[in-house]
């Protein structure tokens, strides 16, 4: 399956796809948007039990919501992301906290590091969006030292984000044959992708923790529409009829994957696949 998927991407202009991908994640205001998910990211990070003695690479680090807490824990961290504005935000935040942390602009499929550079690598809803998963795995294996740990959190197709991306794709569809990012949330696919270069692969479906918004479903839609690049661009590309349909779809998705109490909407449908594996 994986070899066939990789072959499909060869029909595409990968550079054009990546340029669009970069522009999408740089749109909106993800640094502000992601603040509602910081507590959950920190809880997941603690569960990964990265040692202070280890060098850590955070792939798809965004604005530093995982890398910066890891650095505050005393871990030697390098973060990398394709979105230049998010890296600038992460550098500024790290400098303000006087953290010895490196943040680089770069591609998960072409990491600018030497072989065996890191004791561990993590990716929190990040590398799953790169268009060529086999290349991503090759880079994981290349930069992680033998015996080192890989930790991933990847949305499943049933999750709120998985459903949301499906609704968005009706307005801004990917190229035919494009590999869905949510396949990183499928156990069989992940095992096949990692199996040649990783061992002791542990896969667990979990709910993203502590994911709260201080407003209702309409407020969540407005937040995503203004600050989250993929949703923002879908609304901008939509016709009047499509805009109404997308709004209604998102409203029902958010309502069906959340609960509201005392004016706080909590996402309960944030299912992700936790991946923990050891480099062979």
The domains found in the chain, sorted by start residue, are 2-212+268-279 (3.40.50.150)
Give me the pLDDT at residue 176, please.
83
pLDDT (tens digit per residue) in 121-151: 999 999 999 999 999 999 999 999 999 999 9
Mean pLDDT, range 11-35, rounded to an integer? 94
* pLDDT band (50, 70, 90) for residue 221: very high
Mean pLDDT score across all residues of the chain = 95
Claim: this prediction has a pTM higher than 0.85: yes
3-state SS record for the chain: CHHHHHHHHCCCCHHHHHHHHHHHHHCECHHHHHHHHHHHHHHHHHHHCCCCCCEEEEECCCCCCCHHHHHHCCCEEEEEECCHHHHHHHHHHHHHCCCCCEEEECECCECCCCCCCEEEEEEECCHHHCCCHHHHHHHHHHHEEEEEEEEEEEECCCCHHHHHHHHHHCCCCCCCCCCCHHHHHCHHHHHHHHCCCEEEEEEEEEECCCCEECCCHHHHHHHHHHHEHHHHHHHHHCCHHHHHHHHHHHHHHHHHCEEEECCEEEECCCEEEEEEEEEC
Per-residue pLDDT of 239-271, as tens digits, reads 999 999 999 999 999 999 999 999 999 999 999
Whether residue 9 has pLDDT greater than 50: no
Does residue 7 register a pLDDT over 80? no
Q: What is the pLDDT of residues 70-106, one digit of tens each?
A: 999 999 999 999 999 999 999 999 999 999 999 999 9
Q: Does residue 4 surpass a pLDDT of 50?
A: no
- The pLDDT value recorded for residue 5 is 42
Mean predicted confidence (pLDDT) in 202-210: 98
């Amino acid at each position: 399956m994986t070899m066939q998927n990789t072959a499909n991407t060869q029909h595409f202009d990968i550079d054009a796809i990546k340029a669009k991908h970069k522009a999408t994640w740089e749109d909106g205001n993800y640094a502000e948007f992601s603040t509602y998910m910081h507590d959950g990211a920190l809880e997941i990070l603690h569960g990964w039990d990265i040692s202070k003695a280890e060098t850590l690479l955070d792939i798809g680090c965004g604005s530093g919501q995982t890398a910066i807490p890891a650095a505050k824990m005393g871990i030697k961290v390098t973060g990398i992301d394709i979105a230049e504005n998010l890296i600038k935000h992460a550098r500024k935040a790290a400098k303000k906290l006087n953290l010895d942390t490196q943040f680089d602009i770069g591609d998960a499929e072409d990491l600018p590091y030497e072989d065996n550079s890191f004791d561990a690598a993590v990716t929190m809803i990040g590398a799953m969006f790169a268009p060529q998963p086999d290349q991503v795995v090759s880079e994981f294996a290349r930069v992680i030292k033998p015996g080192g740990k890989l930790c991933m959190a990847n949305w499943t197709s049933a999750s709120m984000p998985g459903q949301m991306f499906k609704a968005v794709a009706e307005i801004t569809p990917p190229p035919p044959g494009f590999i869905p990012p949510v396949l990183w949330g499928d156990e069989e696919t992940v095992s096949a992708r990692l199996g040649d270069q990783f061992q002791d692969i542990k896969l667990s479906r979990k709910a993203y923790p502590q994911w709260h918004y201080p407003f209702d479903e309409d407020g969540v839609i407005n937040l995503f529409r203004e600050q989250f690049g993929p949703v923002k661009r879908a609304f901008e590309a939509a016709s009047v009829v499509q805009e109404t349909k997308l709004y209604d779809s998102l409203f029902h998705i958010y309502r069906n994957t959340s609960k509201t109490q005392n004016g706080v909407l909590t996402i309960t449908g944030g299912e992700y696949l936790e991946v923990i594996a050891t480099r062979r």
